[in-house]
Amino acid sequence: MEDKPRGLLISPIKDGTVIDHIRAGAALTVLRVLGITGQTDEELSIATNVTSMTGGQEGRKDIVKVSNRELSKEEVDRIALISPHATINIIRDYIVVEKKGVEIPTHLSGIVRCTNAGCITNANEPIHSSFEVTEAGLHCLYCDTVITTDIESHII
């Protein structure tokens, strides 16, 4: 079989952030939590369902490259909820100057909306949601609801 060149699918960027190893198909959700939903002035490259080798196993992943921007801690926490194996690469003058994994924090404040419509965090007053991350799921510290499924669709 013919060898295909790898890694040339989308161009390297000069400055910015490469979010790599995103779960295949999740790139658009990552864009949503970065606040990029439609018309944007940001310089973006998105690759979806590209082949990826991890630990000698071939799989699929998505990649999002955002030029001239670094991510806030809250943005990285949101990405961790969507894709716990994502890596965040900071690029300066074409060089990867920093590479880090993402980690779901033990506590989430203002990141996820409570699924209980009657929860005080869903009232009109500006109360930030507050969840403890447990084995069972996300535990609302205001109303004790535990969100167990489809967490990414509740990310604010």
List residues near Zn ion by CB under 5 A: 114, 116, 119, 140, 142-143, 145
Q: Bridge-partner residues for 59, per DSSP?
A: 52
Buried-exposed string 51-65: b where 16+ CB fall within 10 A, e elsewhere: ebeeeeeeeebbbbb
The single-letter code of the amino acid at 21 is H
Q: Which 82-101 residues touch ligand CTP, going by CB under 6 A?
A: 87, 89, 91, 94, 96, 99
**Is position 71 an interface residue for ligand CTP (rule: CB under 6 A)?**
no
Residue 34 binds what, of Zn ion, ligand CTP, none (CB under 5 to 8 Å, by partner type)? none
Buried-exposed string 2-22: b where 16+ CB fall within 10 A, e elsewhere: eeeeeeeeeeebebbbbbbbb
Query: Can you tell me which of 20, 62, 75, 77 binds ligand CTP, judged by CB under 6 A?
Result: 20
Interface positions with ligand CTP (CB under 6 A)? 7, 12-13, 18, 20, 63, 65, 87, 89, 91, 94, 96, 99
